[in-house]
Each structure stands twice: as structure tokens, then as C-alpha cells.
Amino acid sequence: MKKLFFFFTFLVGLGISSSVYAQSVEEVKLTSANTLASKLGADVGKVRTLKVNGPLGAEDFKTMKEQMAMLQVLDMSGVTELPKTAYWNESVREELQSIPREAFQNKLTLQKVVFPSVLQRIDDYAFNGCSNLTEVDFSQAAQLKQIRNYAFEECSGLKELDLSACAALEEILWNTFGSCSNLQSVNMSGCEKLTSIGQLGYDGVFDNCTSLKTVDLSGCSALKEICGYAFSFCRNLTAVNVEGCTGLETIENRAFQSCNQLSDFDFSQLTALKEIGESAFSGCALAGDIAFASGINQIGANAFFGNENITSFDFSKSMDLTVISYGVFSSCENLKKVDFTNCSSLSTLNIGAFYNCPVLEEVVIDNGFYTSIDGVLFVVDKASLLLYPAGKNNSSYEIPATVKTLGESSFPSNESLMELTIPESVQTIKGKAFSNNDYNGSFSRNGAKVIMQSATPIGLSQSIGLKDAFVHVPKGSAEAYRKADVWSESKIVEIDADLVTVVLEEAGTLKTKLEALNIPVYGVPELKISGPMNTEDFNVIRKMSVLRKIDLSQVMSDGNRLPDYTFSGHGNLEEVILPETIETIDYQAFSGCSSLKSIDFSSLSHLRSIAHYAFENAGITSVDFSKTSLTSIGERAFNGCLITGDLSFPATLNNIGSRAFSSAVLSSIKLKSPDKVYLNGNVFESTDKTTCKVYVPKGMKESYQKDENWSAFKNIEEFGFLVTASSKGNGWVEGAGAYETGEIVTLKAIAYSGDVYEASSFDGWYENNKKISTEPELTFEMKDTDRSLEARFYSEIMTFNGGDYVMSDQNKIDGPAVLLRSGSLTVEGNEVWKPKSFAYYQGASLLVDSEIETEAISFNWDAWSNYWHFVSFPYDLKMSEIKLTSSDARFVVREYDGKSRADKGVGESWRQLSDEEILKANTGYIIQFNSGDGMADAFTTKTGDMKALFNRASVTIPLNTYASDNAMNANWNFVGNPYPAYYSVERLFADGLDATVTVWSPDLNNYEYYTQEDKDVYLAPLTAFFVQTKTSNLVFNPEGRVAALPGETQAASALRSADNRRVVNLLLAGEKASDRTRVVFNEEASMEYEIGLDAAKFSSPNADAASFYSLDKEGNRLAINERPVADGVVRLGCVLPAKGSYTISLKEKIGEGIQLVDKRTGAVCDLNQEAYTFEAEAGTLSDRFELRSDVVTSVEAIDASVRWNVREGLLIVSGLRDVETLSVCDAAGRIHFAGKATDDEVRIALPQSGIYYMTWTTKAGERQTRSIKW
């Protein structure tokens, strides 16, 4: 309502009353012409709809155009007279009642016009540019004779044009309805006097009416011509009804050009049609069979150009046809037949009419000018061959002996024609005879060939389209052709040429050999080569452009491969025999070899790889890979090869590249591989995956069905029986997979050559652990049961480098040199193992339970520099016999002097050995080297009783007793594990050990201490360790050995508490150093040092190690301190190698009260709840920490009324009402605040992040400390 009110107000403001709109529809009756303006008076400019009765004059039309600015609808149905326009009808002057020239041109308000019955002519430009004109009513215009030039041009609002009532209409002149872009239908079905649409030589009538769909010309019996461009570029025009157009004689140039959708146009009804002009129907969509009536006389150039769906032209009734111009049928890409039967008058048939008709199979004609034989077009006497159709599907053709001349473009490109024979009768070949325009023709691709029967080259002055084509000539005439003008552009092949045989003594000499035989490289059609070849030789073969057959069966190819591009583009190549040793066919090796229909892979058992594009667009139609050893087929390897039938792959195949067989149409695919073959994308693009069967080994169907690419195949079936083959040692096996009963199976055992992996030799094939063959290649006939075999290999150097191995009677291999570098090796069984040599490396584990016989034994080290190694040897060894592999390396050896310790105490115990001394068997030593980098096998011994490394008997080590005033220093012995295997500490105690075992731990960089309470602890192979014992012997039994540590067990402690003993295992950890100690609360123990319970703390020989211990009442350092609870207080000490942050924690929670007290800060920490962290300088701390048992006091007891927090380095302490004094210090002991707490809150600036300790005393005298980490 608001909008209407506003609009009304707006009109009133303009001084326009609503009564004006009541008068916008006006009907007037005129009694005389040119009185319309006066009749309408002042309202002339307000009329929207006008109906006029009576006569109209020229001034009246001027009034409507210029003064009636709002005119939308003009109804002239009541008009009785119109202005007359004179014109000459041939020689007679006539006057016609007309809509004047430019009467309504560009009148944009006009929407509808109703024409009167008196109308005879619509003059030039009458309604031109009336873009909003949507409706024109000609229903009463029965006297209308002419619609003149541009009369309705660009009336883009028009959608329908119905002239069917215009029975008198004779002419529609040029561009009358041009560019009426929304016009969809034109009906002229009642225009029985219409003689022409358009005017000869002028632009079209309906051109560029881009929305026009249908035109109805039915019943236009007087229509003689559709003039040039009449309907051109009406891109949506689909149908033109010409039924009854019996007088239509001419369809002028481009009349329907580029009517891209025009498919319905029946030429057979046009019985009077004589001429179709140039490009009249070019670019249309005419389809199927096009038949013409009898009257057609000539067809202009390109008349039907580009009508891709026309399949035939039938002129069999067109007896008057005389001319077919250039390009008439060109680019009719589905045209198969042109029938000129009965065209007796056809004397001008331009061969260019058939340009680019790729599927044209036949031209039928036989008159006095032309004839055809089996679709091939000749001049009537058959002396000139004019056209061999491009779609004729014969693979070969022999030109009749009557032919003397081959016409221009007589052999356009033909995909089927592979062999053309030209007889001796042919004396002239015209330019471009074998090409279309400037393009090479059918004989310059796909390996097609021309056979010349004449030994003498035909004289040529210009190219005939045989450049690079294979031209076969009589024996002995090749050189003449190669020297002749134009023919020299072709690849000349001599028929029945002698086989060229070349024996190469040295690779790279093929070119030289051919030169010595006076044979040009380009002229070799058949070749056999023997001997070694390299890339240089294969480059020579690439230049053999006429090569047809080649035998390489006796060739030793460099690297056993066929190099890139070897035969690429050799379209004449028909046969290749490859050497059986070939392993790789490289990139594009046979690409484009279109004459190569097959290649025999049955003897190529060593072939492992076919590279990308190797056979792309070759002529291969069938192939069998089953006898090869292929592991991979590259991308597009056989793309373009029309392979059909069955395709069988070997059991070695792993993967197939993208589109490798994209052109193959297969019925079945057989996959023998024991593992799923990987497809990279749509490998079998053209194969019907709903019908093609895919055969896979048993148990793999589901895996293939779930695969992203194989799942497209709907018929996957399992087949045959399985041959499984595994390998042991340095080698691998090929050939395992699925086979059918009766099929020959060949398994290959392939030993590593040493290029990447360590070289090895083949031992044999084993089935059910029984050796059945020593031949690397095992061949047998498949029965009706599965088989499982194992190929075993041994290396010239058998290396064990990590992992756990067992050498039993089933896998003992004599002969190799054994290197046990790391991991474990167990030797067991009844058979003697006889390796050539045995090298043991320190740190590896060797458990021998079977006899070993070898020529040489060595003990080797990969040593670290500047580090003390703890070691013993199972045999005596002279210092002078220790050999270093580096001349710059030096080392020192120390032994432990137990007597010196007993007499003098700690610090006087280590003694350095001289070069003349002997290292005693099973005695402990420490050794240090001055350098280690680059010192492979740095420390090697090959002397002494080396067989002791293989000892599997018990070993008793005598122990010395050393009395001392201090029990901590008595009876220390430094001995060694006599076995190169791990040994159970628990077994030592079971066999009589009654004292603590002290072992160096490389992981801790410190000592570990074990008692009989420690379970699942093992001595490392040949490691040295300390014992403090009262017994005289230490017994090692072979039952205590283990080759490898049990699961999750380390050569470290796993401590447990007994019912009457409480074991506390403490850990000290810093950023780079750590250590551990143990306290045992046992009421049956003494406060004094007891051998067997307590263990003295050893100082690490490495300066960067930490030391953690407890102290007895005399201040002695103990690694294990077993004592009664007493007062429950145990002093702890430590040696810290560097300034930093350290943590004290329990190794395992014990569930009872264990508190750590930091006497420096006053902090008390329940270690069962949390670890304790502190900061300290480097040095010894002997009186800072205490361990307390069953002490209640802890940090949780601190008065909760005192609160604090740190904000941006500011410590804020509050709740100090009951606090007397307060102090704050850092971990180094520096005071940051000390004084009385006079206020409830104190603020203290902290200089840096770290650990701080806050201590306060309450007014009641209670003192508390709390640590703060910021």
C-alpha cells in the first residue's frame, strides 16, 4: 500500500492525473488519411494501445513513430487504406499499399502489431530494431506480397513468426529477419506464391537467428530459390519442412551454413532441385543416408562439409548430375559410400570432394567418364587411378596393370592399408598422391609399405607423400632408388635381400664391421649378430631404418639389457630374436614397431623387467610371459598393442604400471605370484572386467577382491596348487606360486653377488629339513598337492650382526668364514660344524653346545677411546701378542691388586701391566685405548688357547683370601665370566657364592651391586667383575649360560624385599650422570660391615660419573648397606661430577614410610609419593641428606595458613600472622630474605628461575621449611 501511495503522489507531483491512464487504450475511426494527430489531440503522447479504423497516411505513421512515445500495441486490423509505394515488377509499374520505410524503426516501446488485410508490402527497415516487439499478427494479411530488406532485423523479442495466412506473399528480401535472436519458429506453409527467400547475391533473410529451431516451408510450391546465407548461423535450427516444395531449384551459397543442429532436411522431395551452392549445408548435422531426386545438376564446393553423421550419399536417381565440386563431402567423417550409379552426365568429379573422409569405403560409378572397381575410382579407361578410399578396410591392394597414372591425393591416409603394390605399368605419380594436402599419408606411419615392381625408379619432380615410408624394391635396385630424386626421402627396402651376418669379437665394433663389409647402415633389412655388444652397437641398430628381421640370440649384451630406444620407430621390423640372457628391456625399446606382431618370450627365462613404454604402439597381438622371471612391467609398456585372449604372468611378478595393457581386450588373466600383484591405476582399461576371468593362487581371492584396482574384475577365481619357497641365508628364491597339475615348475635359488649384500653360495634345496638337490635351479612336474621348499645359502663370510641365531644340524654349513659381531649365536646338535674361520667380537654372545672345528679363531674388539673396558679372557694371553689394526693406537691394561687393598685400603688397588706380562685366563682386567675412531677390529687376539672360546664344560676359578683390619677391604678378587655367553648371577649364588657381586655397568657409567636377593640378573659375556668372598673357589657351570637375555630382562638389578627384610633402592639422576645405592633394613643384620650382606662402594674410574652411597658410623661408603632399623636414620652421600639439577627417587615403591631429609634446606620428602629435586655445585655431599624410616614429619604437615605464589619473579608470601621469623635462600645457600615477619604479607624479588627454600619459625617456636620451584 505504501508503494502505491507513493507512486500516486509522484504522478500528482508531475501534474498527471489518474484519468490519463484511463485513456491509455484508444480506438479511433478516421475518415481521411493523415488526421490521426488531430483526432487524438492532446492525449496523443499518452496512448499505449491504439486501434485504428479507416485510412492511414504517411503522416499518420510519422505521428505514431514520433509523437506516440508510449505506444505498445498497434492494432491495424480495421485499416482500410495504407500509403502506396510504387515499384517495377519486371517492366510493369505497380503501386502497393505499404507500411512505409523506417515507419517504426527503433521504436522500443512497441510490443505488438496486428496487420490489416489491405497490407501488400512492408517496406525497408519498417520495424528494424524494435527489440521489444514480441508479437506480429499476419493472420489477416492475405494480400501481402513483399517483405522488404531489413524490415524486422534485430527484433530480438520475436519468438514466433507465422506467415501461413500470407497466401499472396511472393518475396522476402535480404536480412528481413536477421539477428532476431529469440525467434524460435517460422511458419510459411501457406505461402503458395512465395518464389524466393532472400535475394540473389545478398545477405540472408534469417541469418543469425540463433534460437530458431523449426522452419515450415511445406506447400511453398512456387518457391524457386533459397538465397545465400538465408538461414546461416541459425545454430539451433533442427528441422526444415520442404514437403511440397516442388518448384525449388536452387539452394544458394551458405544458405544453411553452420546450422549445427540441422538434421531434418529431406532432399528426396525436392524433385526440381538443380543446384546446391557452395557451403550451403557446411557445418550442419545432417545424418544417415542422404538421397537426391532426379533433377540435381551440380553441387558447389564444400556443400556438405563437416556433416559428421552422414553415412552415405545416393545420387542413383540423379541422371542430370554433371558437377561435383571440391570439398563437397569433405570432413564427413562417418561417410562410407557415395553412389553415382546412373549418373551418366557426371563429367566433373573433383577428387578433393572426398578430402578427409576417413571411413569412406567405396565410390560407385560407371559412366562414360569414370568407373569404379570394388569401390576404387578410376578414369573410365582405367589408365588413371583417381581415389583409393580412406576407409577401405583391405590390408593390401595391388594396382591393376592397366593403370599408368596415380592421381593427386589418390591414396589418402588409410589405417587399414598396410601393403600397396605398384606395377611396372605405372609411369606417372602425381604430386601428393599419397598424402592429404601437406600431411604425410598412410605409408609414413604404422609400418605400411609400398612395393614397387619396377626396378627403375619412376621420375618424380615433387614430393608424392612417401617421405620416411617403407618402399620395397626389386633385388639389386635399392641403390638406384636411394639415389633418385624424391625417392631418396623414402626408406628403401630391397626385396629378398641377403642376410647380413656379423660376428663381433669386441663390443662397440658393429659400425666398423659393416663398413668393412661395404654395407651401409641404412640399407640392412635382415641381420644376425654374434658376440659382445654395448650401447654404441645398439645406437648403430637404431639407424637401420629398413630393418625387417634381426637375430640377437648369440649376443652378450652389456648389462644383459636391451637399451632405451633400441628399435623405437622401426615400423618395418617384423621379427626379433633376443638373447636368452636378457634381463631388462629398457625404455621405448620397441615403441612404434607396428609390424612386430609377436615376440617370443618363452626362452627369456632371465627377463626380469620391461620398462615404461617399451612396446607402446607396437603391433603385438599376443604374448605369454609365463616362462620369464618378470618382476615388474612399466607404465604404458604395451599401451596401443591390440592384445587379445589370455594373458599369463610368471610367479615372480610384483607390479604392473599404469595403462601397461590399456588397449588389450582379454578373456582371462592368470597370476601365479604368491604375493598380490600391485596394479598402478587402470592397467587393463579396454578389457571388459565383467567377463574377463582373473585366476589367482589359493587363499588370495579375498585379498584381490578387496584391492582398489583388482576389485573392478567381477570374476576372480582361485586355481591350482601352491609351491611355497623360502630362503635362508644371503640369497632369494624365484618361481614360487600357483601351478596346475602337470605344469613344469622351475624354482631358482639366487645367491647375493656382493654388490649390495654380502656374497654367498648356494647350499641346497631342502624339503621337510632334508636336502633334495644342490642345483640352484630346481625343476619338477607339479602334482596334485602343495609343496614347500627352502633354499639355503651360506656366505663366504657368514656375518651375525644383531638378532638371535641358532645353528643346528639342519642348517650347519661348512666352509664360510664366520663373523659373530653382535647379537647371539647358539651352536647345537650332534654334527661337527666346520667353518673356515671364526671371529668373535667382544659384546656378542656365543653359547656352544656342539663341537666346532675351524682353522682360525680370533677375539676382536671395536673399542671406544678414553674409556675403561672391563674384560677377561678364557685363556692366557701375552701382552706382546695383542695386535692393534691401527698403527697410531695405544692402550694400557690394569689388574686389581686385592692384597694391596687389604693392606693399604682403597686407592692403592690398581696396577698397570708391562708389555712383558701375561693376562691370566678368567682374571679381570680394565683396558683403555687412546683412540677409537676409524679403528675397525681395533683389538685382535689370535694367540693363546683360542679354543677356550668354544668351551662348554664347567669352569672353576680359584679365589684369593686377603686378611685386613677393615672388613670392607678384605678378600677382594677381580675375576671374569669364563664364557662368551651371558651367565646367571643367581646360578653363581646357587653354586656356592657367598658374597656381593660388583659389576661395571656401561649403561650407568658406574658400578652395579648384586646379592643373592637379585633375580634375573646376568653377567655379560667375558665381562670382569668383583667378588668379596670367604670361599676359595668360584664355580661356573654350563647350565648357567644363556645366549640372549630373557624377555624384558636386562643385565641389571630386579630387586625384591623378603618378609623380614625391607629393601630400599635409591636412584640419583642428573642430566648426564646417574647412580644407585641400596639400603636394607634387616633386624638380624649388624651395624658392622658383613661380607655377603654389605658391599663397599667402588669409585668409578671415569671422572664424569656420579657416585651415590650410604655411610656407616665410621664414614665408610657403602653400595649396599644392610643393617637394623635402630634409630631409623641412614646418612646418604654423593659425588656430583658437575653443577646442576639432580633428583633422588625410589626405584620401586615399598609402601611404607621412607622420608628423605635435606638438612641444608630443611625439606622433608616422602619418596613413596614423589621424587626430590635439588640444585648443587660439583663436589662431594657427605652430610646433607638423611634417609629416615617410619618418620611422620613430611611436607604435608606444614601449616596451611601460610600461602605463597610467584608472579613475574616476585615471591608473595601471606598468612604470616603467627610467624615470628622468615628466610628465603636458593639451592646454593645464598640468602634472599631473612628477618622478622612484621606484616601479614611479604614480597621478595627472585633474581632468576630455579629452586628456592623458604623457612619460617612460628611464635610457638615451631620451625618449617618448604621448597619452591620457579
Asked whether residue 73 is domain-assigned, the answer is: no
Asked whether residue 1228 is domain-assigned, the answer is: yes
Encode pLDDT of 1141-1184 as tens digits: 999 999 888 877 788 989 888 888 888 889 999 999 999 998 89
**pLDDT category of residue 9 using cuts at 50, 70 and 90:** very low
Residues 673 and 784 in one domain: no
Residue 15 reports pLDDT greater than 70: no
Distance (Å, whole) CA 50 – CA 23 = 10
DSSP letter at 589 equals T
Asked whether residue 9 is domain-assigned, the answer is: no
Encode pLDDT of 1227-1268 as tens digits: 667 888 888 877 777 888 888 877 777 888 888 888 877 777
Distance (Å, whole) CA 318 – CA 272 = 11
| Residue 16 vs residue 227, higher pLDDT | 227
pLDDT the model gives residue 934: 41
Residues 765 and 793 in one domain: yes
Q: Report the CATH number at residue 711.
A: 3.80.10.10
Encode pLDDT of 782-796 as tens digits: 999 999 999 988 777
Q: Report the CATH number at residue 1244.
A: 2.60.40.3080
Residues 769 and 841 in one domain: yes
- Domain closes at, from 1156, 1175, 1197: 1197
Residues 670 and 542 in one domain: yes
What's the domain count of the chain?
Answer: 4
Q: What are phi and psi of 903, to 5 degrees?
A: -85, -40
For the chain, the straight-line distance linking the first and the last C-alpha, in angstroms and rounded, comes to 75
**Three-class secondary structure assignment of 421-461:** EECCCCCEECCCCCCECCECCHHHCCCCEEEECCCCCCCCC
Encode pLDDT of 1060-1084 as tens digits: 678 888 999 998 888 989 998 888 8
Residues 1076 and 1144 in one domain: yes
Average of per-residue pLDDT values in the chain: 88
Whether residue 761 contacts residue 795, with contact meaning beta carbons closer than 8 Å, is answered with: yes
Distance (Å, whole) CA 74 – CA 78 = 11
- Domain closes at, from 858, 882, 906: 858
Residues 6+ apart with CB under 8 A from 306: 282, 283, 284, 330, 331, 332
Encode pLDDT of 812-844 as tens digits: 888 888 899 999 999 999 999 999 899 999 889
**pLDDT category of residue 445 using cuts at 50, 70 and 90:** low
Asked whether residue 803 is domain-assigned, the answer is: yes
Asked whether residue 243 is domain-assigned, the answer is: no
Angstrom CA distances, 132 to 122, 167, 208, 905, 1197, stand at 19, 27, 18, 123, 99
The grid cell for 317 is: 536417381
Residues 774 and 645 in one domain: no
pLDDT the model gives residue 22: 41
Encode pLDDT of 355-413 as tens digits: 999 999 999 999 999 999 999 999 999 999 999 999 999 999 999 999 999 999 999 98
pLDDT the model gives residue 19: 35
| Cα three-residue angle 1203-1209-1211, rounded to 5 degrees | 20
Residues 694 and 730 in one domain: no
Residues 580 and 617 in one domain: yes
Residues 1072 and 1203 in one domain: no
Asked whether residue 591 is domain-assigned, the answer is: yes
Which string of b and e fits 1214-1223 if b means at least 16 CB within 10 Å? eebeebeebe
Residues 563 and 613 in one domain: yes
- Domain closes at, from 680, 701, 719: 719
pLDDT the model gives residue 197: 94
Domain boundaries, position 789: 724-858
Residues 690 and 808 in one domain: no
Residues 713 and 734 in one domain: no
